[in-house]
Chains A and B, each alone.
Chain A
């Protein structure tokens, strides 16, 4: 009951927005801008002919590949940069320069290097999500309290055990934060990248629907689906926050 009450204002705002949209389209007699109902019908059409799943699958595959590569690269590198002062001093300035470059700015180079296949968006997702994860992981290691490191030093454990049982779990909450940011950016970028080229994906769906007959109902359907999947992805990342390695921090 309290949960319903908690969600009530948010649902009310959305309902209000939908009503306003519907009303404005009706009043303006727009022939090109769809009503919410037309968007629903457009979505059903996409579900029926199966193209929706193909587009969603293509986008998720690209995000999955690019994001996994970025995690595999950023987490070890971030741990190393956090632990070894020299590595941080050498690499951090470079990453701070690369980090603010919008992934969109990489699109021409990505196409030049990787063509218009799947490799381009995967590269763009990699490049956009890798930096926030490096930064957060490094910060996580830097924030480890001295008393824990001293205890580990005192017990004289091996380097492997030190990383496995102290450094990684201690930095883990920050690593998760980095992964949440990284996945969010990755999802933003895949749609943008798919708008440029390719013949599949939710970004392609939006651009293609506009180009092939001004199907704005499908454009808006695509946007809403993108938003919903983004929400689900973030929810999935939040599940990681429930692991014991991640919850230790919030409990104190």
Chain B
């Protein structure tokens, strides 16, 4: 499996009241092509900062991010960030949102592509709806479909489903897995939800409290679909929670 993302010795501090506040301390990891790597860590440990740097929205103080072997510090359509807050444009219809990243003038071809991805996430019939007419779960689908439509190689997902209720969260994970089995993206997922990570990730990195380092790595060698009630899952969950300092 060729390496898609290589993160090397990232260091980042923010100016605080009592001097520089270190957030990331020598974070290094790689993500292989088509791999789904989840990063879990305690709240406020710098997960989002890490994601912003990897996706190109922020610069590290030191260290580098390489995509396909080339150092890169700008965001671009090769890697789309899906964040917790959502960024579906409320003034565009679902279809216009999906066509947003396709550039150039409106054409039948682009519309067909947009509608194809709308169908993939189960939004057929809502192409002409405005975001305000959709539920929170449907907005997430629009966000996902808009990202998929530009055929990115990487999806950066920062707590993508954490604003949804538990049932919807579970359903969206299954949707994501189904889509990934077709589209084969490389995914970097940040979450505070250990179960979510075990459910969908190939590998799980545990971040330490601030300043964040990679504290532990867990492979998840279970085939899909995963049964979240199985003994291996429970074992893994306990091990990860122990790393996070939550003993049971």
How far apart are A165's CB and chain B's nearest CB, in angstroms?
6
Interface size class of B (residues with CB under 8 A): 20 to 34
Residues of B within 8 A of A245 (CB): 91
Which residue of B85, B101, B132 is within 8 Å of A147 (Cβ)?
B85
Could you list 11 further interchain pairs (A-B, Cβ under 8 angstroms) beyond the known A154-B80, A157-B100, A165-B96? Answer: A147-B83, A150-B57, A150-B81, A153-B75, A157-B101, A157-B103, A158-B103, A161-B100, A169-B91, A248-B90, A248-B132
Interface residues, chain A, CB within 8 Å of chain B? 147-148, 150-158, 161, 165-166, 169-170, 172, 244-245, 248-249, 251-252
Q: Which residue of A lies closest to B84 (CB)?
A: A147
Given contacts A150-B57, A248-B91, is CB(A165)–CB(B100) below 8 Å? yes
Q: Which residue of B lies closest to A249 (CB)?
A: B90
Q: Does B181 contact A (CB under 8 A)?
A: no
Interface residues, chain B, CB within 8 Å of chain A? 55, 57, 75-77, 80-81, 83, 85-87, 89-92, 96, 100-101, 103, 130-132, 150
How far apart are A177's CB and chain B's nearest CB, in angstroms?
16
Residues of A within 8 A of B130 (CB): 244, 248, 251
A-B contact pairs, 21 of them (CB 8 A): A147-B83, A151-B81, A151-B89, A152-B100, A153-B75, A154-B76, A154-B80, A155-B80, A155-B101, A156-B77, A156-B101, A157-B101, A158-B103, A165-B100, A166-B89, A169-B91, A170-B89, A244-B130, A245-B91, A251-B130, A252-B90
A165 to B131, CA, bound (A): 15
How far apart are B85's CB and chain A's nearest CB, in angstroms?
5
Interface of B is mostly: loop
How far apart are A79's CB and chain B's nearest CB, in angstroms?
15
**Does the CB pair A170–B77 fall under 8 Å?**
no
How far apart are B130's CB and chain A's nearest CB, in angstroms?
7
How far apart are A248's CB and chain B's nearest CB, in angstroms?
4
Which residue of A151, A152, A165, A252 is within 8 Å of B132 (Cβ)?
A252
Residues of A within 8 A of B92 (CB): 165, 169
Q: Which of A147, A155, A157, A251 has the most CB of B within 10 A?
A: A155
A156 to B130, CA, bound (A): 23
**Does the CB pair B57–A147 fall under 8 Å?**
no
How far apart are B184's CB and chain A's nearest CB, in angstroms?
21
Residues of A within 8 A of B87 (CB): 147-148, 150-151
**Does the CB pair B81–A154 fall under 8 Å?**
yes
**Does the CB pair B91–A244 fall under 8 Å?**
yes
Residues of A within 8 A of B75 (CB): 150, 153-154, 156
Which are the 6 A-B pairs with shortest beta-carbon distances? Answer: A155-B101, A151-B87, A251-B132, A169-B91, A248-B90, A248-B91
How far apart are B72's CB and chain A's nearest CB, in angstroms?
13
A169 to B92, CA, bound (A): 9
How far apart are B103's CB and chain A's nearest CB, in angstroms?
6
